[in-house]
Structure 1
Amino acid sequence: MIAVIQRVTSSSVVIDGLVNGQIKDGFVILLGVCLADTNEDVDWLSKKILGLRVFGDEEGKMNKDLADIGGNILLISQFTLHASTKKGNRPSFIEAARPDQAIPLYEKMIELLSEGLGKRIETGVFGAHMKVSIENDGPVTIIIDSQNRK
């Protein structure tokens, strides 16, 4: 499971011309589920995300996590994070999980992040064509792969 986490001052996702989710101050998380992912990956990654200390403290050092700043999350599913570009110019998505596997893991991530943050998180719609606006703060972008923990 790959998560691209961006610290943002604001973000929104639009589907068919309508705002589906929007946040101020927090994380936009682009989440790609692969064939090898399980509930264990969701558990590990959700804790890692919630514990990330990338928000400035009183001295401007990255010492605060989402809970410390009352931050928000916008979670977007993105199978293209598992694109393989080793051969040719057309990416292969063979390692990306199919919807029957990916949707339950995506929904579990929504549940765990909401519980851990203590409030509802915003989301896109799995499989939809989405327009995501991101105002990256810093810029700060962290990439975490649950299959590469060591």
Structure 2
Amino acid sequence: MLLPPPWLRLYLTWTIPKWYMAMPDEAILPLRVSKLPQPERDFLEDRLGPFRSYAQNRHATRSKMAKVFNAACSALGAINTLHDDRSTRRVTATIPSMTAHPLRLDFSLLQMSSEAGWTGQRPVHLWIVGASILLRARVQYTFFR
């Protein structure tokens, strides 16, 4: 087994705690949760109603709406992948053509369901035994019985 050099181990020791990892069953890990202050609640109430604040200050309103949309998209993405299958499986893959680009791997996962997130265009990570890198790929085709 090849160990990383000491400088890399030290770098990882200082860097890894800065990453906030979510467990697969948590889907989203908030860094901070707080009650909205009254001005923010007033802004959202105005947004749901006549939305007068936009005419008063377009730049500030666009900035606030960007934050709201960002939070909404993050929450939606987390909810959509909440029940996705995140388990690791060992499979045997075949390569239909060694000259094709990008490289295509064909393999089957048995006893899987579409409810577990296995749909077309789903991003997956592949690791080939003996390789030093992890590959990112997309599911091209799924078939369920």
Same fold (TM over 0.5): no
TM-score by length of 2: 0.20
Structure with greater proportional helix content: 2
TM-score by length of 1: 0.20
Larger radius of gyration: 2
Higher-RCO chain (CA-CA 8 Å, sequence separation at least 6)? 1
